[in-house]
Amino acid sequence: MNLSILGIPMDLGAGRRGVDMGPSALRNAHLTRALRDLGHSVTDLGDVRVDLPESVDKLAEGGMVFLESILDACQGTRDRLAALPADTFPLTIGGDHSVSMGTVTGNALRGTPSGARMGLIWVDAHTDYNTPGSSPSGNIHGMPVAHLTGLGDPRLTGLGGGWHVRPEDIVMIGIRSVDPHERDLLREAGIKAYTMKDVDQLGITRIHEETLERLSGTERLHVSFDADALDPSVCPGVGTPVPGGLTYREGHLLMELLSESGRVTSMDIVEVNPILDTRNQTAEVMVGMAASLLGQRIL
């Protein structure tokens, strides 16, 4: 398989500095070598240009933090991904989760100017379904899914030029931290979210089966994997840790099953914060998750 790695070193959407160094941490954890060892052809495309927070105005109109700079980075990400060949598997590495507004859109538009119908598998402790009006912080990394569905600020909802993810084509896994108004928005949208209670009760295998059934009508599947979906004991280097997350094996099992389905066409790894990490543990774990999605097997 032809793999293209693209870094988006951005922490503008988060409330804490450090995830801009996530792409470097993942590369230092031998991401390229791990994927080449699986037999893939890997090209590292470098990084999307991102404004430094010290060089731009923090608050944009409407109270959102660093809106213009985030929009610019997402546009750059979208354009670079949309221009890739159709037979490429893009692996995008962040960066805070607001980068997904560019990655998901760019992968949907790749080879299809009007946008392909895309299933979005959101592996995260958080649903990231706040809007500018519901967000208690104004931090955009808590809003990307809402904007991808067309809900929120028109400058961000317009990244797809009219293309949006259908709410029925989104499945969230590992959820355990949701703001009160965000919960209401999710219910109104009809997005399927598997909380950690569901993981405990149903198990990853059944959740995987139900996810693929729900997304059976989509042309492409994109996995957006936030490192904080895993328990902090597994991934300590994240900006917004929440206890009680996915175990190491639950994460790998989900990636292995998705790999076996043969349906995933692109992936994000986001929210790795080496400032808060222990000896690059989180980056190393997430490299392993990517390897499992891309064909690594125990036997």
Element holding 172 (H helix, E strand)? strand 170-175
Task: List the catalytic residue out of 228, 250, 268, 277.
Answer: 228
20 part of the active site: no
Judge contact between 245 and 231, C-beta under 8 A: yes
Judge contact between 208 and 250, C-beta under 8 A: no
Task: List the catalytic residue out of 40, 126, 147, 164.
Answer: 126
222 part of the active site: no
Q: What is the pLDDT of residues 114-141, one digit of tens each?
A: 999 999 999 999 999 999 988 888 899 9
Nearest residue to 71 (alpha-carbon basis) of 56, 89, 86: 56
**Which pLDDT score is estimated for 33?**
98
Q: Are strands 88-94 and 2-8 parallel, antiparallel or unpaired?
A: parallel
CB atoms within 10 A of CB 268: 28
141 part of the active site: yes
124 part of the active site: yes
Task: List the catalytic residue out of 47, 72, 96, 97.
Answer: 97
Task: List the catalytic residue out of 141, 147, 222, 252.
Answer: 141
Cα 241 from Cα 222, distance rounded (Å): 23
Task: List the catalytic residue out of 226, 250, 256, 277.
Answer: 226
Using CB atoms within 10 Å of the CB of residue 75, give its burial: 0 to 12 exposed, 13 to 18 middle, 19+ buried.
middle
Task: List the catalytic residue out of 96, 124, 182, 284.
Answer: 124
271 part of the active site: yes
Q: What percent of the chain has pLDDT over 90?
A: 91
Chain centroid to Cα 166, Å, comes to 17
Mean pLDDT for the chain overall = 96
Q: What is the pLDDT of residues 41-86, one digit of tens each?
A: 999 999 999 999 888 877 666 668 899 999 999 999 999 999 999 9
**Which pLDDT score is estimated for 133?**
87
Sheet with 170-175: list strands edge to edge: 41-47, 2-8, 88-94, 264-270, 220-226, 118-123, 170-175, 192-195
Handedness of CA 232, 215, 83, 52 (dihedral sign): negative
Judge contact between 267 and 91, C-beta under 8 A: yes
Tell me phi and psi for residue 156, to 5 degrees. Answer: -90, -35
Judge contact between 155 and 161, C-beta under 8 A: no
Nearest residue to 81 (alpha-carbon basis) of 52, 54, 56, 111: 111
With a cut of 80, say whether residue 209 has pLDDT above it: yes
Q: What is the pLDDT of residues 232-289, one digit of tens each?
A: 999 999 989 999 999 999 999 999 999 999 999 999 999 999 999 999 999 999 999 9
Judge contact between 270 and 96, C-beta under 8 A: yes
57 part of the active site: no
**Which pLDDT score is estimated for 68?**
93
Task: List the catalytic residue out of 47, 271, 277, 284.
Answer: 271
226 part of the active site: yes
With a cut of 80, say whether residue 10 has pLDDT above it: yes
153 part of the active site: no
Cα 141 from Cα 172, distance rounded (Å): 16
Q: Are strands 88-94 and 118-123 parallel, antiparallel or unpaired?
A: unpaired
Task: List the catalytic residue out of 96, 128, 169, 231.
Answer: 128
Q: What is the pLDDT of residues 144-201, one digit of tens each?
A: 999 999 999 999 999 999 999 999 999 999 999 999 999 999 999 999 999 999 999 9
